Structure 1
Amino acid sequence: MDWFLLVFIAVGLSLAMAASWVVQRMTGRSGWIDTIWSLAVGIGGIAAAFFANGAFGRRMTVLVIVAVWALRLGWHIGKRTKGAGEDPRYAKLIKVWGDSAGRRLFFFLQVQALAAFILVFAVYLAATNDEAYPGGRDFLAMLIAAAALVGETISDGQLSRFRKTPQAKTEVCEVGLWRYSRHPNYFFEWLFWCCWPVFAASTSMSGLLSLLAPALMYWLLAHVSGIPPLEEHMLHSRGDKFRALQRRVNAFFPGPRKRESRPSGE
């Protein structure tokens, strides 16, 4: 294991999130934090894949996949941030933190740097696999990554188009993939990180450690910084309409829509 490379990546991620703190304080737009985070993870993943000691073909495949992920997500969030106001999730945190918001946001972003390192470490483990390339697991991992990138791109596009309609001011999004999951973009983002354990499964230890990436991403999206604050905001802004959506549609994993029970006598 190349400890110097991993330390270099960890320091780089920490500095990137420190830079995102400066940008947020200067612009008042927290969306740039997620933009910088995405690009920092991508750059860290590219460095990990390039300098790892695994099979060359697998390393280059890993490098391309993580680069495509970072460019797509960074561009999407950056474009959304440029044309929008403050992210409601960060806005609430800053309001709750009050006078200590600047200091607490800085340390909060360093925690995000740590999470980013865990994700990049999974990319590194995938790139250190020295088995003959390509193998059956490589094709499976590429299929998972492709499905995730396509699914997230489609769901992001569907939501972006919905937000431009007059109905978006008062209604909830139930178009396309959003009919089967309240957060299909989050689901596909999690699915993307499931490809790295498949790439890395040359040894039991690498495979087990790389599982930290999808486990962490699921925990963050489903229980911490993804669904909970966003749904709290939607309940505040859409009220009963969003409560009805919660009864009809799964929160995370896509699935069949549920029938709403009607009061007796109807």
Structure 2
Amino acid sequence: MDDISVWCLALVCLAACCLIMAAAWLWAHKIKNASVVDMFWSYNFPVIAILLFLLAPGWETRRILICGMVIIAGMRLGTHLGRRILSHLDEEEGRYQQLRKEWAPNAERTFFFFFQAQAVSNVILAVPFFVILMNPAVGVNAFEWIGFFLWFISVSFEAMADRQLAEFKKDPANKGKVCDKGLWYYSRHPNYFFEWLMWVSYFIFALGSPYGWLGVISPTIILYLLLKVTGIPATEEQSLRSKGDAFRAYQKSTSVFVPWFKKS
């Protein structure tokens, strides 16, 4: 692997993501809604994929395959989040309202650095893509096929979970209730689980390239963030504030993360 080329690619991608997040922060500051950061975080991965497709020296077919995967997944998630956020743009999501309170009176300045930290996380999480796209070897190997099929399964089920939740929320009769339909019957966060599984698939795909073991950083970071930081803890705290006892009962009967058998 050409270390200089990798670092140059990383800097180009970082600059692009930071500029996008700076523009996103300006918009968020204007409308007083930091929720938009989630949408742009997702869209940054397709941006990275396009830059790497154009600039990285790897085998063209492999570049098409992995960049196509990243673009499809990032655009799907970003658009799903965008629809939700834009549908109530005048109302900041509960998680960010809470951060705004905690960071007062310097919330806007802190949000700027928060947005930039998201840009940095985009590039760090893209490590498997850098590894894969620097590989000049011709031919798709077993690790790459396994990674592709696991990616297809994880993205399909994440989309299913998102669709089930969106349809549940559309029904006015479900206002204040907890979604326990479909995949949500077995797990409180099936969308997060399959999002993590998608990053596992990128790691497996990367194992077919030199230095592919470096790709483990992505699913490891994602798992930590989902379980301990911005994923499940923040989401469940907000659900407890908004749904109270109904969500407490749901917590007792379901798996927190992995879709599994329903608890008795």
The whole-number CA distance in structure 2 between the counterparts of 1:40 and 1:138 is 23
Quote the residue 1:64 is aligned against: 68
**1:263 maps to which residue?**
none
- Answer whether contact 1:235 1:243 (CA < 8 A) is retained: yes
Superposed displacement of residue 140, structure 1: 0.7
Query: Which runs of 5 or more residues in structure 2 are unaligned?
Result: none
Asked if structure 1 preserves the Cα contact closer than 8 Å seen for 2:143 and 2:208, the reply is: no
Deviations along 1:168-192, one digit per CA (max 9) or x if unpaired, are 2222110101011101111111111
Aligned pairs for 1:47-62 within 5 A? 47-62=51-66
Query: Aligned to 2:262, which of 248, 254, 257?
Result: 257
Deviations 1:102-140 (CA, angstroms, capped at 9, x unpaired): 111111122211111112222111222334322222211
State the match for 1:86 in structure 2. 92
Q: Deviations over 1:175-223 (max 9, x none)?
A: 101011101111111111112222211456x222111111111111121
Match of 2:227 in 1: 222
Task: Find the partner of 1:5 among 2, 9, 32.
Answer: 9
Which one of 115, 130, 138 corresponds to residue 124 of structure 1? 130
Question: How do 1:154-169 and structure 2 match up within 5 A?
Answer: 154-169=160-175
Q: Counterparts of 1:130 and 1:181 in 2: how far apart (Å)?
A: 41
Q: Tell me, in whole angstroms, the C-alpha distance in 2 between the residues paired with 1:254 and 1:129.
A: 35
1:236-247 map, 5 Å = 236-247=241-252
Measured in 1, the distance between the counterparts of 2:248 and 2:144 equals: 42
In the alignment, does 2:181 pair up with 1:175?
yes
Q: Distance in 2 between matches of 1:126 and 1:168?
A: 44
Kept in 2, the 8 Å contact 1:31–1:78? The answer is: no
- Give the CA RMSD over aligned residues: 1.5
Report how many residues are paired: 258
Correspondent of 1:76 among 65, 80, 89: 80
Contact 1:151 1:188 in 2 (8 A): yes
* Greater mean alpha carbon deviation, residues 182-191 or residues 133-142: 133-142
What is the alpha-carbon distance in structure 2 between the residues aligned to residue 151 and residue 129 of structure 1? 29
Which of 93, 99, 103 lines up with 1:97 in the alignment?
103
SS in 1 for 2:131: helix
Moved more, 164-173 or 179-188: 164-173
For 1:135, the equivalent position in structure 2 comes to 141
Q: 1:193 touches 1:213 (CA, 8 Å); kept in 2? A: yes
Tell me the distance in 2 between the aligned counterparts of 1:48 and 1:223: 31
Q: Which residue of 2 aligns with 1:264?
A: none
On the 8 A contact 1:46/1:66 being kept in 2, the answer is: no
Q: Residues 129 and 199 of structure 1 are in contact (CA less than 8 Å); yes or no, is this contact kept in structure 2?
A: no
Q: Which residue of 2 aligns with 1:113?
A: 119
Residue equivalent to 1:262: none
**Aligned-pair CA distance for 1:248:** 0.9
> Any idea what SS the aligned residue of 1:254 has?
coil
Distance in 2 of aligned mates of 1:162 and 1:229: 21
TM-score (norm 1): 0.92
- Unaligned 5+ runs, structure 1: 260-266
Given that residues 254 and 262 in structure 2 are in contact (C-alpha distance below 8 angstroms), is that contact kept between their aligned partners in structure 1? yes
TM-score, normalisation: structure 2: 0.93
The letter for the 2-side match of 1:236 is R
Using the aligned pairs only, state the percent identity. Answer: 34
1:121 and 1:115 map into 2 onto residues whose CA distance is 10
Cα separation, 1, equivalents of 2:185 and 2:55: 42
CA contact (8 A) 2:131 2:206 kept: yes
Residue number in structure 1 paired with 2:150: 144
